[in-house]
Amino acid sequence: MANLDVLRATEEERPILENLLELYIHDFSEFHSVNIGPDGKFGYRDLPLYWIEPERHPLLARVDGDHAGFALVRKVTAIYGDRTVWDMAEFFVLRGVRRRQIGTEFAQAVWAMFPGAWQVRVMQTNQRARMFWAHAIANHTGEPLQTASFEKDGETWNVFSFESRIE
């Protein structure tokens, strides 16, 4: 079993997160049209907010000391209802460590760091991600999944809603 560490990214580690975001957005471009900038990068406009706004949290994952992925977590108003929930804004695991349960362990570590109500959004066309999240959330909660769908910019998204509790 690999040794997974999940830590809040420091401002000094922001370039690492920026680089990992480029890989993530490239992967995501399979499902959603994204434009590359004149500098050859996709960029992520809201990334600086993760070191400014207290309800946003940039996280890095390392496996056996090597970079393995990231998560961007934020507190938002739920898509359904008027309560505040944790939202997995972005989540990425490098291809080299996928299919080893690292993603599930990483997601569960994030949920343990931020107990309470959660939502995870995934594009309906991204079948692998939908299967991953369904498995990871059911494994974490041990309860039936609560899912709904919504439309945004002509795309259908699924949203998983659940509670993460400290054990």
For 68-81, what is the mean pLDDT?
91
Q: What is the mean pLDDT of the chain?
A: 90
pLDDT for the residue numbered 115: 94
The CATH number assigned to the domain holding 56 equals 3.40.630.30
Task: Say yes or no to pLDDT of 144 above 80.
Answer: no
Cα 102 to Cα 121: distance, rounded to the nearest angstrom:
20
Tally the domains of the chain. 1
| Helix %, strand %, coil % of the chain (to 5) | 30, 35, 30
pLDDT for the residue numbered 70: 97
Domain enclosing residue 149, as ranges: 4-164
Q: Which residue has the higher pLDDT, 68 or 39?
A: 68
Q: Which two tokens stand for residue 139?
A: 């494994």
91-113: burial string, b at 16+ Cβ within 10 Å, e else: bbbbeebeeebbbbbbbbbbbeb
pLDDT for the residue numbered 167: 58
Q: Is the pTM of this model over 0.85?
A: yes
Cα 115 to Cα 123: distance, rounded to the nearest angstrom:
24
